[in-house]
Amino acid sequence: MKRRLLLDAGNSSLKWAVLEDGRWCAQGRCDYADLSAVQAQLTPGMACFIASVASPAQERELAAWLDAAGMVPVWLEAEAAFADVSNGYLNSRQLGVDRWMGLIAARQRTREAVLVVSAGTAMTVDALSAGGAFLGGIIVAGAGLMRQALLQGTAGVAEIAGQSQIFPRCTADAVESGIVAALCGAIRWQHVRLAESAGTAPRCLLTGGDAGLLLPHVGLSAEGVPALVLEGIDCVARERMS
């Protein structure tokens, strides 16, 4: 199959992968200010598929860069359905395309009910039934936004890195512990709700830049899948290119 570039364009960084004949040849993560690692992977006639939740300015810069490289990308959107995954959002296109790609990838990994957690600038927690129906999900501020809110909204919190503790005894640890507790609490809350709906404990997949922060504390049999969105993009790319 034709060599292809997959781009997961987030709010703060760009995840990318290059695939050929079903093989993941290279992948990485970079800032929008330095796309040299991706540039080094480009070849003539390469296909490109993008799932973007980046800002309009970032998207314009990315589009201009791809145009200068002679590439015509396919900008993906959430749809009403893909294969046996159905989108239960009231307006299917309003669902973030990164969330949709994550759901598609989760369905490829399991036919069980599964909770798909993406811990990035914002954290999303999405429920997928054993039948492939996206039931809905929640969005909360991610760890970075929570820290920023506390720094800007309170006088007694300094910009000092803390560690998550059971009983924090300094302000920095108290802040970090509170952030982790809030995010893990949101995951556990949705896990209980999906278990009630499914009649069994669902799988739980974590992706995003802060997945590593949460995995040791979430208290579930959760699995970290760093490239989950890219896996979903690849599913769609293979269907479009077949």
Handedness of CA 27, 15, 136, 82 (dihedral sign): negative
Structure tokens at 236: 């769609």
Residue type, 90: L
- Contacts for 34-40: CB closer than 8 Å, 24+ residues apart: 35/65, 38/5, 38/7, 38/14, 39/69
Instruction: Give the bridge partners for 30, in sequence order.
Output: 14
Can 34 be counted among the known catalytic residues? Answer: no
Single out the catalytic residue among 31, 34, 67, 98.
98
CB 118 within 8 A of CB 98: yes
Burial class (CB in 10 A: 0-12, 13-18, 19+), 104: buried
What are the residues whose beta carbons fall under 8 Å from the beta carbon of 60, sequence distance 6 or more?
none
Coil/strand/helix, residue 14: strand
- Return the active site residues: 98
